[in-house]
């Protein structure tokens, strides 16, 4: 599957009553598409996957797929209990998604071949990118086995163990040179110099959701943004659990689109931190324009 450039992870907008705001989501995706992302990942982590009902998830994916209209691949989040993951996968297929970002299973853990069976079942519905994070931390030989399953096309790393990732990349590419690897750490741009050293070029950009101009400038070589924008953003992100999502949603609102608040257990960005974010966005946009 052809994925390149900046990967867009839209937020999931809610209205004043807390319901899914489909028209706002459509506008959010339309605005993102104007900046040419390489793929759209709907109802994933930045889209508050864990807070969506199955019907909301299906509707969000459908909206994204309809707006994208085949111009780039659309992936949907899936995961948790196997039954829920399969329902999400089937609904995403019906909505027009091209693949799935597969989150870790819910709580219960089994041996490696148990996780392999979980992945195999979901990958029978749509192509799968496995998300390595939380309870899913894989050894190289396990990823080689998973890469050999029909429908498993990639691994997104949210752990950040560079030694482990180097061994995984080397082991998998011996047998599966077209297998996709992604940097999936929060604010991934900050760690991309390290991941590029491993041969990993793809990454998820939360910043693209609220400041695509900044995300694209970094992609095209404006490395001063690492010091002037991304490093301060990471410091701000680390002040409150859940800010990797809350800050993105606040950033979208600051740029003029009312996408509503986050759902519990996430919390809204405080007034002080909102001012910091607004200043950071202004600084980043000024650097892009200079």
CA distance linking residue 113 with residue 175, whole number of Å = 20
Q: Is 147 left (phi over 0), alpha (psi -120 to 50) or beta?
A: alpha
Tracing tokens 């650097």 back to the chain, one arrives at 287
CA distance linking residue 72 with residue 14, whole number of Å = 25
Would you please indicate which residues are annotated as catalytic (active-site) residues?
A: 131, 156
**Tokens read off for 23:** 């028209």
Measure Cα distances from 115 to 66, 79, 182 in Å: 32, 12, 20
Cα angle value 228/229/232 (rounded, 5°): 90
Q: Cα-atom radius of gyration of the chain, to the nearest Å?
A: 18
Q: Is 16 exposed, middle or buried (0-12, 13-18, 19+ CB in 10 A)?
A: exposed
Q: Are 32 and 212 in contact (CB under 8 A)?
A: yes
**Tokens read off for 88:** 């999400």
């Amino acid at each position: 599957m052809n994925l390149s450039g900046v990967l867009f992870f839209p937020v999931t907008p809610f209205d004043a009553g807390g319901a899914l705001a489909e028209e706002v989501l459509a506008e959010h995706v339309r605005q993102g598409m104007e900046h040419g992302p390489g793929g759209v990942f709907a109802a994933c982590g930045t889209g508050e996957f864990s807070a969506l009902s199955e019907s909301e998830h299906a509707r969000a994916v459908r909206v994204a797929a309809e707006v994208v209209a085949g111009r780039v691949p659309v992936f949907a989040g899936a995961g948790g209990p196997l039954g829920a993951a399969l329902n999400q996968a089937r609904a995403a297929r019906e909505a027009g998604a091209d693949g799935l970002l597969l989150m870790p299973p819910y709580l219960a853990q089994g041996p490696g071949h148990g996780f392999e069976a979980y992945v195999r079942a979901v990958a029978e519905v749509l192509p799968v990118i496995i998300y390595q994070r939380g309870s899913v931390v894989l050894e190289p030989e396990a990823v080689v086995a998973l890469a050999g399953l029909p429908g498993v096309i990639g691994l997104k790393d949210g752990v950040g163990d560079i030694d482990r990732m180097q061994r995984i990349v080397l082991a998998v590419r011996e047998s599966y040179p077209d297998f996709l690897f992604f940097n999936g750490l929060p604010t991934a741009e900050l760690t991309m110099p390290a991941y590029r050293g491993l041969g990993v070029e793809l990454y998820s950009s939360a910043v693209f959701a609220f400041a695509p101009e900044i995300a694209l400038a970094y992609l095209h070589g404006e490395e001063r943004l690492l010091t002037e924008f991304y490093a301060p953003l990471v410091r701000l992100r680390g002040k409150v659990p859940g800010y990797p999502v809350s800050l993105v949603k606040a950033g979208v609102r600051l740029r003029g689109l009312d996408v509503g608040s986050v759902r519990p257990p996430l919390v809204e960005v405080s007034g002080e931190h909102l001012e910091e974010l607004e200043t950071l966005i202004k600084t980043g946009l000024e650097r892009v324009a200079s």
